[in-house]
Amino acid sequence: MDAISVIRTKRDKGELSPEQIDWVIDAYTRGEVADEQMSALAMAILLNGMNREEISRWTAAMIASGERMDFSSLSRPTADKHSTGGVGDKITLPLAPLVAACGAAVPQLSGRGLGHTGGTLDKLESIPGWRALLSNEEMLNVLDTAGAVICAAGDGLAPADKKLYALRDVTGTVEAIPLIASSIMSKKIAEGTGSLVLDVKVGSGAFMKNIDDARELASTMVGLGTDHGVKTVALLTDMSTPLGLTAGNALEVRESIEVLAGGGPQDVIDLTLALAREMLAAAGIEDADPAKALADGSAMDVWRRMITAQGGDPDAALPVAREQHHVTAPSTGILTRLDAYDIGVAAWRLGAGRARKEDPVQAGAGIEIHAKPGEPVTAGQRLLTLHTDTPERFDYALQALTSAFDIAPTGTDYTPTPIVLDRIA
């Protein structure tokens, strides 16, 4: 085997053999295949695609590059969820303890934010003392005692993907659907969960801007899960408008706790319950009612156990940014659009996100939303409150919001977009 022949096969629109795929992933992980050679292969895959057999083998090779976790010692079935990322997407925080309260074990390996999309670990690290880095033994202990764990993936899971992802990020090949799907699914399958529900976001604030691309990605990932023995379902969900009423780390934790306490924004509640029902069904738990577990406080109990087990103080005050700035409605009417991407970029510029993986984030930075599309607004009314510790960021954030919303005359018809757009199984 040699890298040039593998590159040429895909460059010329050929099908990579299982042997070629196994060799190139292993050799790249060991450093025998150079970054520039893997860059050329990734670009060829972006331009010419892969069939299902190739993607499945590519995923298997990335899984084989590292360890696989085993949760067979647990007394309950495992169910996990993965979101492709969005703005205000705090769903994992109430969802994991909710599903655990209904009888499943939830091993949730999560990531950090990059660019305009937030990261679950960044949000939880705004809780004093909470730890994202757990050993495999610690992760299993938290799962066993609390029922759910949210933590960072260890270096031993799919190391080939970690190396390839960093390369794709700087070579213009992030958009390759075969590589997106295998990247996500190699880590989830190696994680060892018995079932998986995918939340594939669609809209301006999502990676997939149109529903056809999102459907292709979701179908590819569902196929990969099926091929590797993991029961997998995908929901396509709207990300044209931010989820909930906050975008930012501590702000989103506060809102998630409101949901666990029986309140919170309706769109966050609806999506949390929709995903919980899918996770429970995939895990074979048919008789649990997640709405009841939210209402009776049992999901909150799991949240408190989970946070405490990972070193956090569930009663501690969350960080609050030192400075605020209000954005008001320029006219009276109906708010018809609030762009998720623009809100995400503004929150990022306020300090809630990072441009590079090593950048720090401000726990209290972000945006509060005071009106959502379909609601009446009055001239001078607060639409948004911007939060940051560094007020020199306000002007830069406000530039991102110059066309973030539309207000139509009072009486204008408004048809809301459903939160769940499609289901793929």
124 and 266 inside one domain: yes
Is 161 known to be catalytic?
yes
Residue 4 binned pLDDT confidence (cut-offs 50, 70, 90): very high
So what's the pLDDT on residue 105?
97
For 286-334, the DSSP string reads: -S--HHHHHHTSHHHHHHHHHHHHTT--TTSPPP--SEEEEEE-SSSEE
Whether the per-residue pLDDT at 115 is higher than 90: the answer is no
Whether the per-residue pLDDT at 170 is higher than 90: the answer is no
Average pLDDT of span 321-334: 98
130 and 229 inside one domain: yes
Average pLDDT of span 355-379: 93
341 and 295 inside one domain: no
Residue 183 lies in a domain: no
292 and 347 inside one domain: no
Domain boundary among 252, 278, 309: 309
149 and 266 inside one domain: yes
Which residue out of 187, 201, 304, 393 is catalytically annotated? 187
Its domain, for residue 25, covers: 3-49
Which pLDDT tens digit goes with each residue over 261-308? 999 999 999 999 999 999 999 999 999 999 999 999 999 999 999 999
Strands 333-338, 405-408: pairing is antiparallel
15 and 100 inside one domain: no
Which residue out of 10, 57, 81, 82 is catalytically annotated? 82
Residue 71 binned pLDDT confidence (cut-offs 50, 70, 90): very high
So what's the pLDDT on residue 360?
87
Residue 178 lies in a domain: no
CA–CA distance, 97 with 122 (Å, rounded to integer): 18
So what's the pLDDT on residue 112?
84
8 and 120 inside one domain: no
305 and 329 inside one domain: no
Whether the per-residue pLDDT at 338 is higher than 90: the answer is yes
Which residue out of 81, 168, 215, 304 is catalytically annotated? 168
Amino acid symbol at 299: A
136 and 277 inside one domain: yes
Q: Of 135-149, 161-175, 217-231, 399-413, which gets the smallest average pLDDT?
A: 161-175
Q: What CATH number does residue 305 fall under?
A: 3.40.1030.10
* Overall number of domains in the chain: 3
Residue 314 lies in a domain: no
Which residue out of 80, 89, 161, 238 is catalytically annotated? 161
Which pLDDT tens digit goes with each residue over 243-257? 999 999 999 999 999
pTM beyond 0.85: the answer is: yes
229 and 373 inside one domain: no
Is 183 known to be catalytic?
yes
119 and 21 inside one domain: no
246 beta partners: 368
Q: What CATH number does residue 399 fall under?
A: 3.90.1170.30
Residue 174 binned pLDDT confidence (cut-offs 50, 70, 90): confident
Is 68 known to be catalytic?
no
Is 187 known to be catalytic?
yes
Token pair for residue 330? 């320029």
- Other beta carbons less than 10 A from residue 40's beta carbon: 20
For 227-294, the DSSP string reads: HTT-EEEEEEEE-SS-STTEEEHHHHHHHHHHHHTT-S-HHHHHHHHHHHHHHHHHTT--S--HHHHH
359 and 232 inside one domain: no
Mean pLDDT of all residues belonging to the chain: 95
Is 135 known to be catalytic?
no
Residue 202 lies in a domain: yes
> Within the chain, what is the greatest distance between any pair of CA atoms?
68
Q: What CATH number does residue 39 fall under?
A: 1.20.970.10
Residue 356 binned pLDDT confidence (cut-offs 50, 70, 90): confident
Residue 342 lies in a domain: yes
Which residue out of 39, 56, 183, 186 is catalytically annotated? 183
Residue 147 binned pLDDT confidence (cut-offs 50, 70, 90): very high
Strands 80-83, 195-202: pairing is parallel
Print the SS3 string covering 84-147: CCCCCCCCHHHHHHHHHHCCCEEEEEECCCECCECCHHHHHCCCCCCCCCCCHHHHHHHHHHHC
